Amino acid sequence: MDGMPPPANRKPFIMSRGMKIPKHPELTTGMVRGALRKDTYERKECDAVMRMVHEGDTVLELGAGIGYMSTLLVSQAKAQKVVSYEANPTLIDYIASVHAANDVSHRTEVRNALLNSEGGDPVPFYIRKNFLASSMDGNVEQQGIIDTAMIPQHAIAPVLAEVKPDVLVCDIEGAEAEVLAAGDWSCLRAAIIELHPQWIGQSGVQAVFDAMHRAGLTYFPKASEQKVVTFRRGW
Q: Is the pLDDT of residue 232 over 90?
A: yes
Q: For residue range 177-192, what is the model confidence (pLDDT) as tens digits?
A: 999 999 999 999 999 9
Q: Please state the rounded mean pLDDT for residues 23-47.
A: 96
pLDDT of residue 194: 97
What value, to the nearest 5°, has the Cα angle with vertex 142 and ends 136 and 146? 70
Mean pLDDT of the chain: 93
How large a percentage of the chain has pLDDT more than 70?
A: 94
Q: Is the pLDDT of residue 9 over 60?
A: no
Q: For residue range 186-227, what is the model confidence (pLDDT) as tens digits?
A: 999 999 999 999 999 999 999 999 999 999 999 999 999 999
Q: For residue range 83-123, what is the model confidence (pLDDT) as tens digits?
A: 999 999 999 999 999 999 999 999 999 999 999 999 999 99
Q: Is the pLDDT of residue 8 over 70?
A: no
Domain 41-232 in CATH 1.10.1040.10: no
Domains in the chain: boundaries:
41-232
Among 119, 182, 173, 194, CA closest to 151: 119
Q: For residue range 112-146, what is the model confidence (pLDDT) as tens digits?
A: 999 999 999 999 999 887 777 788 777 755 567 88
pLDDT of residue 1: 44
- Dihedral over alpha carbons 47, 171, 57, 165 (to 10 degrees): 160
